[in-house]
Amino acid sequence: MAADPERHDVLIVGAGFSGLYLLHRLRQRGLRAHIVDRAPSGGGTWYWNRYPGCRCDVESMTYSYSFDEELEQEWSWSTRYADQPEILRYLNHVADRFDLRGDIQLETTVTAAQWDEDASLWRVTTNRGAVTARWFVMATGCLSVPNTPRFAGLDRFEGAWYHTAAWPDGGVDFTGQRVGIIGTGSTAIQTIPQVAAQAEHLTVFQRTPNFSIPAWNGPMDPAAEAARKAVYRETRTTARRGPTGDIWPESTSTALAVSAEEREAEYERRWHQGSFSFLSAFDDITTDDTANETAAEFVRNKIRATVTDPAVAELLCPYDHPLGTKRLCVDTDYYTTFNRPNVTLVDIKDAPIEEITESGLITGGTEYAFDSLIFATGFDSMTGALLAVDIRGRDGQSLRDLWAEGPHSYLGLTVHGFPNLFTMTGPGSPSVLSNMMTSIEQHVEWVDECIGHLTDQQQTTIEATADAQADWDQHVHDEAYATLYPRAASWYMGANIPGKPRVFLPYIGGVGKYTEICADVAANGYRGFVVA
């Protein structure tokens, strides 16, 4: 006879930043919460993405938990933007500090989840058996299902190949090797300078150039760290109230209202601040074509001034999308890497990779030979991890079917027909358009308070109404189409995955506004939900 399924109050899928914090909050409430994760270690995206050069491109003093003041004050980041090993150390420290490990089950993959109407709970299937839980939380991340394009012939490649999001533990030594890399997104832009410094030769296959802003990374300045820690509470509040979940000042003037000299000076100032602050230089960069073009041309001029071969520089200049509408990249020495004699840039825009051969790949009728090939080809973003599990709600309705033409949600957190399911930083929430840490903490706190409230009221289910969901879907769409973002063939639009519906996935209305909406929904008796 099969054993009874293990019973939890809350099952959380994913031991990354959001899963760990949610576990901590729910346990403090006295609930039996439990995490499962397919990885052999916690850390979520920071476990899997261990490619050379992997580091956060949001400043670590902002990209870190704010919920515990002692943790915040005691932890010191060694650089302005921490690298992957340091972020993983931080997450492990958090797991130990709050004694979370006993409620985390690793190497456990959830394959299916079914809402049991009669028992008002979720029946969840994993590779290690069945589990039940009243509340089912997908904390599976927005960028956790790697996209590996199905190039013909990959199985016959005799060298080694790697996806950046499933990098071997212990790293790879490329010394003396001919290496090829496919992709020029944020990941590739971080890893290309590192691999180029080690390999005998690196060939970069670029389908679409991206805009990249320098990180200006460096050792943490103790005085700057102390100054920030002295006002940590205020800066966290600023992050939560602003549009991006970060703390840089948002301009309220338009790029076209100032003189060309003033505009250039502001772009120059933001360029030297580094990172995403650049996009906030003027408030119409993401809504007005002409304004956007001034920022785009500023970056192109930086590329032209950095890359010594004018033909290579021009290939690296993006023209096909407004700046920022594909996620801005943040780099250390990316453009200068193309001045190295051992780096070649191959434009594959009009000559897609035809096939992988025993010794390399063919594009434009030319074969390139490699010892190793790196896929920096991104992710099935935002919906990939949610749809990897066969989730079935009321009356057996499949989430895959419901989302076949694109996701539907209320607040990017819940789905009509799927009671007691929460999608952390899901499609329809600010998530990837913000400092993820701010959005993660906001979702964790909202879900924790929602479950706590219902438990206190002895209510067992919460479900978004069809009307609230339809209104939210429309609002997410309207906010996106008031900007230039839907113009780009980006992963925000699902455009990087063949056959994926083109829908603008995140909520672009801003973190502060979104947080107020969520708080208002809760304060008004969970408006738009049926609670039973």
Site membership for ligand N01, residue 57 (CB under 6 A):
yes
322 touches ligand N01 (CB under 6 A) = no
d(CA 9, CA 132): 8
Q: Which is nearer to ligand N01, 113 or 145 (CB)?
A: 145
Binding residue (CB under 6 A) for ligand N01 from 377, 425, 442, 455 = 377
Residue 149, interface with ligand N01 (CB under 6 A)? yes
How many chain residues bind ligand N01 (CB under 6 A)? 24
Does 185 bind ligand N01 (CB under 6 A)? Our answer is: yes
Among 182, 247, 462, 488, binds ligand N01 (CB under 6 A): 182
Q: At 477, give phi and psi (nearest 5°).
A: -65, -50
- Sole window of 85-93, 152-160, 181-189, 219-227 interacting with ligand N01 (rule: CB under 6 A): 181-189
Fill in the per-residue mask, 413 to 452: x = in contact with ligand N01 (CB under 6 A), - = not in contact.
Answer: -------------------x--------------------
Q: Does 378 bind ligand N01 (CB under 6 A)?
A: yes
Contact in structure between 60 and 229 (CB atoms under 8 Å): no
Q: Using alpha carbons, select from 139, 160, 168, 171 the residue that is nearest to residue 38.
A: 139
The whole-angstrom separation of Cα 13 and Cα 353 is 36
Note whether 493 binds ligand N01 by CB under 6 A: no
Tally Cβ neighbours within 10 Å of residue 158: 10
Q: Does 56 bind ligand N01 (CB under 6 A)?
A: yes
Q: Rule CB under 6 A: say whether 508 interacts with ligand N01.
A: no
Whole-number Å distance between alpha carbons of 421 and 386: 11
Measured CA to CA, the distance from residue 88 to residue 25 in angstroms comes to 20
Per DSSP, helices labelled H in 246-338 are 260-273, 289-306, 310-316, 334-337
* Residue whose C-beta lies closest to ligand N01: 185
Residue 258 CB neighbours (<10 A): 16
Task: With H, G, I as helix, E, B as strand and everything else as coil, classify residue 499.
Answer: coil
408 binds ligand N01 (CB under 6 A): no
At its nearest, how many Å lie between ligand N01 and the CB of residue 372? Answer: 17
Span near ligand N01 by CB under 6 A; candidates 194-202, 375-383, 389-397, 463-471: 375-383
Q: Does 186 participate in binding ligand N01 (rule CB under 6 A)?
A: yes
Instruction: Find the shortest distance in angstroms from Cβ 493 to ligand N01.
Output: 11
Which residues, 6+ apart, have CB-to-CB distance to 49 below 8 Å?
84, 164, 165, 167, 187
Instruction: Give yes or no for a contact between 247 and 235, defined as CB atoms under 8 angstroms apart.
Output: yes
Which secondary structure element, helix H or strand E, spans residue 20, and what is its range? helix 17-28
Does position 124 interact with ligand N01 (CB under 6 A)? The reply is no
**Treating both helix axes as pointing N-terminal to C-terminal, what angle do 232-241 and 222-230 enclose, rounded to 10 degrees?**
70
Interface with ligand N01 includes 187 (CB under 6 A)?
A: yes
- The one among 181, 285, 316, 353 contacting ligand N01 by CB under 6 A: 353
CA dihedral (271, 485, 478, 495) in degrees, to 10, reads -140
Report if residue 496 touches ligand N01, rule: CB under 6 A. Answer: yes
Which residue's CB is nearer to ligand N01, number 185 or number 428?
Answer: 185
User: Does position 82 bind ligand N01 by CB under 6 A?
Assistant: no
Binding site for ligand N01 (CB under 6 A): 56-57, 143, 149, 182-188, 190, 207-208, 327, 348, 353, 376-379, 432, 491, 496
